[in-house]
Amino acid sequence: MCHKQSQSLTAKYQTQSGSALVIGIFILVVMLLLGTALTRTLNKSADSIAYEVLGTRAYQAANIGVQHRLATIFPLDSASQYCAGGDITGADPGDVLNDPNYLTSIEGVDGLRNCRVTQVSCVDFKVNDVVYYRIRSTGECDIDGTQTSRTVEVEARSL
């Protein structure tokens, strides 16, 4: 009897030979594909965070341009000014952008390195003795070839 059992077990093993190898290779391939997909997802997530940080920095640079222009239009101790013309007290945006010691000096700020204010524009018009302003500023950040820009537009009025 014992002899017959060992023969039947041997026959079972012979019919199953190689199937464990196929299953093992299948599991390895599936695990490799899952690992590759997870790695790609993590890399895309890291890139997304980098773009978000650069975008926030560019947004802050654009805000600096708008705030500077608002400060020249609405000085603390005098009446509000027009965007352009003989009665403006602040500097022209083109002059400011070309002055390395003015708005472009934001590159010296730790959080705004490689960022700059690239454009500041101001439009004003008068309706019923009230002057309305539209100020637009663009900030850009460029790090390792990755460039982001943000534009901020503010509308204001004289009192």
Identify the DSSP state of 151: E
**Structure confidence at residue 70 (pLDDT):** 87
pLDDT in tens, 41-83: 887 777 778 888 899 999 998 998 888 888 888 888 877 778 7
Return the DSSP state at 97: H
- Cα angle, residue 48 at apex, residues 110 and 140 outer, rounded to 5°: 45
Which pLDDT does position 91 carry in this prediction? 39
User: What six digits make up the tokens of 113?
Assistant: 């390195």
* Nearest Cα residue to 149 out of 42, 65, 46, 44: 65
Three-state DSSP state, 120: strand
Q: H helices within the chain, ranges in order? A: 2-15, 19-73, 93-98
CA-atom Rg of the chain in angstroms: 33
Cα–Cα distance for residue pair 106/148, rounded to 1 Å: 16
Q: Which amino acid is at 111?
A: G
Token pair listed for 67: 């705030």
Is-contact 99 109, C-beta < 8 A? no
Q: What pLDDT, on the 0 to 100 scale, is given for residue 8?
A: 61
pLDDT digits (tens, 9 = 90+) for 16-41: 667 788 888 899 999 999 999 888 88
User: Model pTM?
Assistant: 0.63
Over the stretch 71-124, which tens digit does the pLDDT of each residue have?
A: 888 888 877 778 763 333 333 444 444 454 455 567 677 778 888 888 888 888
Report pLDDT for 153.
95
Query: Which of 153, 149, 155, 94 shows the shortest CA–CA distance to 124?
Result: 155
Q: For position 72, what pLDDT does the model report?
A: 82
